[in-house]
Amino acid sequence: MSVQNLLILLLALVALAAVSAVAGLIGYSVSREGGSSVSTAIGRGGFVFFSVMTLFIALLAVLVPAVT
């Protein structure tokens, strides 16, 4: 794998982490609107973030070998 491919993969990971962070913020907001306390809402937002990030990493683990 060349340096250019590794940089593109890193850029993809950063972009997917940003999308995951937005999903986590949405999860936090939905939890707060539902009447949860702040600490519970942070926990649920974190759960959403890590769930989405795990999904994206699994997707990359399938796509990267198929592309290279």
User: The pTM is what?
Assistant: 0.85
Domain ranges of the chain: 3-67
Contact 7, 20 (CB under 8 A): no
**Neighbour-count burial of 45, counting CB atoms closer than 10 A to its CB (0-12 exposed, 13-18 middle, 19+ buried):** buried
Each residue of 2-24: pLDDT tens digit?
888 889 889 999 999 999 999 99
Helices (H), 1-68: 3-33, 38-67
Q: Tens of pLDDT along 23-64?
A: 999 999 999 999 999 999 999 999 999 999 999 999 999 988
